[in-house]
């Protein structure tokens, strides 16, 4: 990665510069709406659905919600990760020069989406890419990474095991490490999701000047996407407009909600071990990312949902929107549908007008077999 002395500050202006840099290499993904999901979200949950939860015995919230879905599942390699990978590699070439970067190559460790993203960036920019992948990674993601020309080196599934293999690759090749999420260049690249989302929303609203998104949800794994999007929305886009609130969403299964737990404890959780179906969110939040996400002036809150709720949200997207997403992509939607604390917040603060909420579908890297297994398992 770029050296610490050359790190760009995390700011909306640097996200705009990042977008200019990567724009030739990425898709400008669509922003979709869906009346059916708006209606479902704006209907109180059944009292029976709250039984056995902390909200049992309470009157269900009755918010008014309108969704705007940023479809990064349609991004190159099927996930937002292409943005950060291209930005990081282009910045590295700017700093060290094409000759040195192409001579040494780049290396990372990733279970899937960042692996494919860096492989694509390397192929596009003619830079050798070495990808350390856990041997238990999804076969389709391994095959995709290899098909993009990267050399895949297998490791164990834990962070120490990945790191050890990565260091061996660096020792043998001199490759430069590009981390999956914990670096300003990655965060600035991912923050371009927020830039596009805001512009597309304003274009859809047309004459409704002075209106901004009330809130945006992104998933949180390592935190690069959430930290980048929160940086973009850290100040109102135009004078006189309300600030867009940024929220994060995580899976709660087996402690997958490390960010939520860390915020409650006032300290970043450094290790996570979960087999949640939201496999892209099984990593702890990075240091650079935590600095943004733990700042309440930038991230308004982090919520978590169960794997069952993730499956329900995913089914709605597949059946009602006809859009293919992976489980990690719908955690924000699941919060809006099922978390009574958040739904009550929208009801109380949004009133009769309700909230316009941006939902980032972070990726769609799944298979027919995986979807079938997910919905036929007991």
Catalytic residues: 81, 111
Long-range Cβ contact pairs of 169-172 (< 8 A, separation 24 or more): 169/107, 169/130, 169/132, 170/107
For residues 194 and 191, give the distance between their C-alpha atoms in angstroms, rounded to a whole number.
Answer: 5
The tokens describing 267, both together, are: 């300290």
For residues 339 and 361, give the distance between their C-alpha atoms in angstroms, rounded to a whole number.
Answer: 18
Burial bucket for residue 368 (CB in 10 Å: 0-12, 13-18, 19+): exposed
Q: Containing H/E element for 303?
A: strand 301-305
Query: How many residues in the chain?
Result: 378
Ranges of beta strands (E only) in 72-182 are 106-109, 129-134, 151-155, 176-177
For residues 110 and 85, give the distance between their C-alpha atoms in angstroms, rounded to a whole number.
Answer: 12
- The DSSP code for 8 is P
For residues 10 and 15, give the distance between their C-alpha atoms in angstroms, rounded to a whole number.
Answer: 8
């Amino acid at each position: 990665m770029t050296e610490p002395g050359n790190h760009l500050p995390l700011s909306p202006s640097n996200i705009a510069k990042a977008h200019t840099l990567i724009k030739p290499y990425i898709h400008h993904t669509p922003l979709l709406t869906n009346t059916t999901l708006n209606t479902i979200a704006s209907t109180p949950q059944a009292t029976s659905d709250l039984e056995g939860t902390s909200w049992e015995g309470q009157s269900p919230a009755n918010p008014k919600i309108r969704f705007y879905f940023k479809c990064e599942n349609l991004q190159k390699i099927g996930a937002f990760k292409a943005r950060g990978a291209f930005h990081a590699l282009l910045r590295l070439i700017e700093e060290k020069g094409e000759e040195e970067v192409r001579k040494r190559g780049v290396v990372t460790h990733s279970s899937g989406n960042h692996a494919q993203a860096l492989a694509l960036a390397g192929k596009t920019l003619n830079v050798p890419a070495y990808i350390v992948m856990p041997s238990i990674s999804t076969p389709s993601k391994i095959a995709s990474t290899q098909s993009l020309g990267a050399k895949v080196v297998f490791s164990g599934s834990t962070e120490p095991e990945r790191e050890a293999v990565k260091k061996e690759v660096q020792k043998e090749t001199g490759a430069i490490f590009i981390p999956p999420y914990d670096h300003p260049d990655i965060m600035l690249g991912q923050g371009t999701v927020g830039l596009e989302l805001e512009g597309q929303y304003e274009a859809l609203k047309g004459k409704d000047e002075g209106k901004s998104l009330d809130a945006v949800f992104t998933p949180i794994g390592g935190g690069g996407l959430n930290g980048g999007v929160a940086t973009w929305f850290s100040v109102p886009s135009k004078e006189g407009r309300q600030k867009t609130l940024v929220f994060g969403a995580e899976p709660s299964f087996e402690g997958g909600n490390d960010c939520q737990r860390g915020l409650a404890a006032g300290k970043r959780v450094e290790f996570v071990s979960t087999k949640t179906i939201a496999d892209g969110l099984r990593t702890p939040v990075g240091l650079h990312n935590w600095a943004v996400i733990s700042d309440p002036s930038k991230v308004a809150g982090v919520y978590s949902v169960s794997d069952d709720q993730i499956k329900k949200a995913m089914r709605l997207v597949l059946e009602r929107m006809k859009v293919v997403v992976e489980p990690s992509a719908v955690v924000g939607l699941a919060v809006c549908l099922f978390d009574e604390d958040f739904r009550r917040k929208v009801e109380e603060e949004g009133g009769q007008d309700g909230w316009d909420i941006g939902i980032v579908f972070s990726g769609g890297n799944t298979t027919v077999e995986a979807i079938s297994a997910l919905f036929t398992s007991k």
